[in-house]
Amino acid sequence: MTKPIESMMVYVDGSEGSILAARFAVVLASRFGAELHALSVLNTRALSDLVQSHIFLESEREEYRRELADDGSRYLNHAVEMGRRKGVTVVGQSASGSVAAAIKEKVAELRIDLLVMGPPPRIRSRRDALYDEAEMAMRTVDCSVLIARDEERIEELYEELF
């Protein structure tokens, strides 16, 4: 019988929502015996937009690119450690470009069948909803998407793991 979920991926960006999503992904991967990947995206698209629009200088782009890369490594290490504590192997994945496109590409490349993400912000304008990269990814990926909510319950489930 085919497992309902063979391969999962969680998108991590350092936000509280993405940490919650990573926790839930570890729980699900453990229960389903699924492979789990964590993806961090270096948003070079946004950096290019800022240089093009003259908000950033070239030197700022480089400075922020380094900082974003360091942050991304930290987020991935955190997700890997979160899995390790519960006996779940989390494979760190890095990508760069636009967040939505990078998520979509990784989902296809790794044949992911469940993408786990944190909840979108509750306060937002219609414009934000239209341009939110993570939300765009949710709408366009070719796999099922799960939004992690209910922090208390997810925390309980995570702690229940051996």
Partner 1 sequence: MALIELIEEQAVKVPLESFDKEGVIRELVDVLASTGKVSDVETLYKAVRLRETLGSTGLADGIAVPHGKTNAVRDLALAIGIAPAGIDFEAADGKPSKLFFLMAAPPDKAGPHIEALAEIARLSRSKALCSALVSAQNAADVVALLRGD
| Residue 1 binding partner 1, by CB under 8 A | no
**Site track 86-125 with partner 1 (rule: CB under 8 A), x = hit:** -----------------------------------x-xxx
Q: What whole-number distance in Å separates Cα of residue 98 and Cα of residue 4? A: 30
Question: Can you read off the two tokens belonging to residue 116?
Answer: 């786990």
> Helix 151-160 crosses helix 16-32 at what angle (to 10 degrees)?
40
| Residue 64 binding partner 1, by CB under 8 A | yes
| Residue 50 binding partner 1, by CB under 8 A | yes
19 versus 34: smaller Cβ distance to partner 1? 19
- At which residue do the structure tokens 């400075």 appear? 63
46 versus 143: smaller Cβ distance to partner 1? 46
Q: What whole-number distance in Å separates Cα of residue 159 and Cα of residue 161? A: 5
| Residue 3 binding partner 1, by CB under 8 A | no
Across the chain, which distance is largest between two alpha carbons, in Å?
Answer: 56
| Residue 53 binding partner 1, by CB under 8 A | yes
1 versus 55: smaller Cβ distance to partner 1? 55
Which one of residues 6, 132, 151, 155 is an interface residue with partner 1 (CB under 8 A)? 132
Q: What whole-number distance in Å separates Cα of residue 100 and Cα of residue 57? A: 25
| Residue 139 binding partner 1, by CB under 8 A | no
Whether the CB-CB separation of 59 and 66 falls below 8 Å is answered with no
Residues 6+ apart with CB under 8 A from 71: 14
Give me the residues that bind partner 1 (CB under 8 A), please.
13-15, 43, 46-47, 49-50, 52-57, 59, 64, 67-68, 71, 121, 123-128, 131-132
